[in-house]
Amino acid sequence: MNLIKTIKPSDIATDDHFFSSIWQNCEKECIARNIVVIAKKKDKWQPFTFNQYKTGCSHVASDSDRWILEDFVKFGYLTKKTNRHSYNVNNKFIKAIFQYAKED
């Protein structure tokens, strides 16, 4: 099942922090939430660069944010197009944040 086409960013609640995630790491949870907040602007899972992330981020982004994004790539939560330096949300990321989906 392609969750990217089924679950939209607006389906994920971002009013609160992403505590108690599978990552069990507040920095990763904050960055995952920021990714969703940024995607909500167009309500679409689109590729994003680190500069786009920094612009839409809820805090002053630093190299540690980039390292965490790269960690998400390393463990398969994001994919990366190296020629464009852009990150892409994938099914594994959606599954990881699905616990924050809005209830009807």
Q: What is the pLDDT of residues 17-36, one digit of tens each?
A: 899 999 999 999 999 999 99
pTM: 0.93
Q: Where are the domains of the chain?
A: 46-104
Secondary structure of the chain in HEC code, one letter for each residue: CCHHHHCCHHHECCCCCCCCCCCCCHHHHHHHHHHHHHHHCCCCCCCEEHHHHHHHCCCCCCHHHHHHHHHHHHCCCEEEECCCCEEEECHHHHHHHHHHECCC
Q: What is the pLDDT of residues 43-89, one digit of tens each?
A: 999 999 999 999 988 889 999 999 999 999 999 999 997 777 899 99
78 vs 103, higher pLDDT: 78
Predicted confidence (pLDDT) at residue 102 exceeds the cutoff of 70: yes
Q: Residue 60 has what pLDDT? A: 92
